[in-house]
Amino acid sequence: MAAFGLAVAASGWWLLAPIYQPETTCSGGGSSTGASWETCEAPSSMAAAGAWGYIVWFVVIPVVLAGLPLVARGRAWSVLSAVSAAGLVIVVLTGGISFGLPLVPGAACAVVGAVLRNRRHVVGPTV
């Protein structure tokens, strides 16, 4: 659950933060890729810009991967937990320092969750 919550938080930040600015033609001529915002529009969120390809990669995939272990129990949980952890680590590594960094806490929680198995501990004497 912690990995899912952290992935949702990171994905929400990617979805709503004013970080998206495609290359545009500026009013002063030429084009801008975001290096100079003086003559171009300020950056907007990916949701406001309608950048659906980025939204799928930055928002949907990490949330689905983090949510996989929440839909299963028993042996299926162990398998989906390992798939979730591996998938989130791959997304973090391919995203690098730009996209992957906000997902590091969620990926770390998913790895810890996959490593720790659901074991029953008996407290007290057994009869």
Q: pTM for this one?
A: 0.69
Question: What pLDDT sits at residue 126?
Answer: 57
Q: How many CB atoms lie under 10 A from the CB of residue 121? A: 4
Poorest-pLDDT segment among 21-25, 33-37, 64-68: 33-37
Q: Give how far the C-alpha of residue 24 lies from the chain's centroid of Cα atoms, to the nearest Å.
A: 27
For the chain, what is the radius of gyration of the CA atoms? Answer: 20
Name the residue with higher pLDDT: 113 or 118: 113
Q: How many Å apart are CA 99 and CA 109, to the nearest integer?
A: 18
Q: How many CB atoms lie under 10 A from the CB of residue 60? A: 13
Q: Does residue 26 register a pLDDT over 60?
A: no
pLDDT digits (tens, 9 = 90+) for 55-110: 777 788 889 999 999 888 888 888 899 999 999 999 999 887 777 888 899 999 99
Question: What pLDDT sits at residue 28?
Answer: 54
